[in-house]
Amino acid sequence: MKYSFWSLLTLLFISFEGLVVQAQDVGGIEDFKPSSVNQPGKQYPQVNSEGRVRVQVSAADAKMVQLDIGGVKYNLEKDREGIWTGESAPQDEGFHYYQLNIDGASVPDPGTKYYYGAGRWGSAIEIPAVDREFYALKDVPHGLVSQVQYYSKITEAWRRCFVYTPPGYEKDTQNRYPVLYLQHGSFEDETGWSSQGKAHLIVDNLIAGNKVKDMIIVMDNGYAFRSQDNETTGKRSQMIFEEVLVNEVVPMIDGRFRTIADRKARAIAGLSMGANQTVRIIMNHLDKFAYYGGFSGTANYPNSNEIDPAKFLDGKFNDADALNKQLKVFWLGLGTTEPAPFPGSVGAFCKMLDRQKIKYIYYESEGTAHEWLTWRRCLYKYAQHLFQED
């Protein structure tokens, strides 16, 4: 499937050549502080109360250095010591990928931690959100995020997932737990939800507030291909994540962790591309899952082999009452400032559900686009509907 122009613009963070701003033109309040995602001891990048981003990098021999963020390039200025400094216009609240452009070469900022997003390891900035308390690191009991390596016979390759176990899992060896399978988006990987998404902190805080049941969360890599694809065609043409998750990951998790191995104790959710993958998985495997969450889904994604979810579901079920009984929760979330085609496609999807008389919950994240603050809020809201008593 191909991206529409606007969705490609959003997901790949493409910058237009004409959108270049001189650093001296932007101004700003002088209350800049080091970003919360800086490497230890690094003073730059910085963020001020307006949401402006200030960067600084040493490049004495460079002819031009730019900050590339939010689809706009900002020219930096060099001092006598060869230090380049500049800042952006105010950015929206939340987590944003960015990069530096040094004489035409796009590189990560050496001051930040690196994250996998937009198809690369690179820099990011956190613009403090007014509601950031729900994903903050607090003095509450914390669960454990562990890395699980496993060999996939289907892909004939080693794969990896991250597994969150709730506080007390190691001590209370008699308890068994429900499981949420949580998927990343396009051009991201299994590190996303525990790194950019802060899923473990969100659920830690919810558990501490008695707002959710203790649960296990499994975060796998949504890119899975048959090994012969590369050998015969030179391309990774067939996405088979559904097969890997259902036939390998779920049995492995049930075998290695103290799960409640029952559909009523399994939920699935995903963002963007992951939302499309997971809606297809649950509708094909209602014997395995009872809860669904789709965050910013229904647009088309490359290398996914996914058809439009609305077309996939439309007319698929003749008995809405039976489906509504099987699906404990069908949950959809979207940011209010998401670009085309997401609002339109999600709207069409909701109309299809209404026409089919399929019950669902719809949530809008105010003032956020196709980015991690939207999806953090979605997880926070969705998790509170999971595994509750009827």
Residue-range definition of the domain harbouring residue 119 = 5-128
User: CB-hemisphere CA count at 13 Å for 327?
Assistant: 23
Cα–Cα distance, 193 to 162 (Å, whole number)? 9
Whole-angstrom CA distances from 82 to 62, 85, 102, 194 are 8, 10, 13, 37
Q: Is residue 39 part of a domain?
A: yes
Single out the residue in 78, 109, 128 at which a domain terminates: 128
**How high is the mean pLDDT of the chain?**
89
pLDDT of 313 reads 63
Does the residue 388 lie in any domain?
no
Q: Sort residue 4 into left (φ over 0), alpha (ψ -120 to 50) or beta.
A: beta
Of 128, 154, 177, the residue at which a domain comes to its end is 128
| Residue 217 within any structural domain of the chain | yes
Residue 6 has pLDDT above 70, yes or no: no
Indicate whether 324 belongs to any domain: yes
| CA dist., res. 71 & res. 138, Å (int) | 34
By the 8 A CB rule, do 58 and 100 touch? Answer: no
CA distance 50 to 55: 15
Are residues 124 and 142 located together in one domain of the fold? no
Average pLDDT on 38-53 reads: 97
Q: What is the model's pLDDT at position 20? A: 65
Q: What is the pLDDT, as a whole number, of residue 153?
A: 96
Look up the CATH number of the domain holding residue 52.
2.60.40.10
Same-domain pairing of 91 and 138:
no
pLDDT (0 to 100) of residue 44: 98
The sign one gets for the Cα dihedral 36, 41, 47, 53 is negative
What is the tally of structural domains in the chain? 2
Domain shared by 74 and 157, yes or no: no
d(CA 336, CA 389): 31
> Quick check: 161 and 219 in contact, CB under 8 A?
yes
Is residue 179 within 8 A of residue 216, CB to CB? The reply is: yes
**Predicted pLDDT of residue 301:** 44
Clarify whether residues 53 and 145 are in a common domain.
no
Among 89-103, 183-197, 267-281, 300-314, the least confident range:
300-314
pLDDT digits (tens, 9 = 90+) for 119-176: 999 999 999 999 999 999 999 999 999 999 999 999 999 999 999 999 999 998 999 9
- Cα distances from 274 to residues 167, 309, 335, in angstroms, run 27, 12, 16
If asked whether residues 223 and 359 sit together in one domain, one would say yes
pLDDT at residue 234, rounded to an integer: 55
Q: Which amino acid is at 207?
A: I
| Residue 11's pLDDT band (cuts 50, 70, 90) | very low
Q: In the prediction, which pLDDT does 305 show?
A: 46
pLDDT at position 124 is 97
Shared domain for 182 and 38, answered yes or no, is no
In the chain, the DSSP E strands lie at 20-22, 33-34, 46-47, 53-58, 65-69, 72-75, 77-78, 83-87, 94-102, 105-107, 115-117, 120-127, 144-152, 157-165, 179-183, 216-220, 266-271, 291-295, 329-335, 361-365
**Kind of pairing between the strands at 216-220 and 179-183:** parallel
Identify whether 151 is part of a domain: yes
CA–CA distance, 335 with 377 (Å, rounded to integer): 9
Rounded mean pLDDT of 16-42?
Answer: 76
Instruction: Please check whether residue 181 is in contact with residue 278, taking contact to mean a CB–CB distance below 8 angstroms.
Output: yes
389 within some domain: no
Threshold 0.85, pTM exceeds: yes
- The residue out of 79, 100, 128 marking a domain boundary is 128
Do residues 149 and 96 both lie within one domain?
A: no
Residue 228: its pLDDT value, please?
Answer: 65
Let me know whether 106 and 190 are in one domain.
no
Q: Which one, of 264, 227, 61, 57, lies nearest residue 153 by Cα? A: 227
Q: Give the whole-number percent of the chain exceeding pLDDT 70.
A: 85
- CATH code of residue 192: 3.40.50.1820
Q: Could you tell me which residues are beta bridge partners of residue 26?
A: none
Identify whether residues 207 and 290 lie together within a single domain. yes
Q: Is residue 390 part of a domain?
A: no
Give all strands of the β-sheet with 144-152 in edge-to-edge order: 144-152, 157-165, 216-220, 179-183, 266-271, 291-295, 329-335, 361-365
19 and 99 in a common domain: yes
Q: Residue 356 domain-assigned?
A: yes
Contact 124, 97 (CB under 8 A): yes
Confidence of residue 227 (pLDDT cuts 50, 70, 90): confident
SS3 call for 182? strand
What confidence tier does 356 reach under pLDDT thresholds 50, 70, 90? confident
Token pair, residue 251, equals 């049995």
CA 11/CA 71 separation, integer angstroms = 11
pLDDT at 214 exceeding the cut of 60: yes
Is the Cβ–Cβ distance between 213 and 203 less than 8 Å?
Answer: no
Same domain as 152, residue 298: yes
Q: Are residues 215 and 141 in the same domain?
A: yes
Residue 230's pLDDT is: 53
Digit-coded pLDDT (tens) for 284-336: 999 999 999 999 997 554 444 444 555 656 556 668 898 999 999 999 999 99
Residue 43 has pLDDT above 90, yes or no: yes
pLDDT tens digits for range 110-133: 999 999 999 999 999 999 999 999
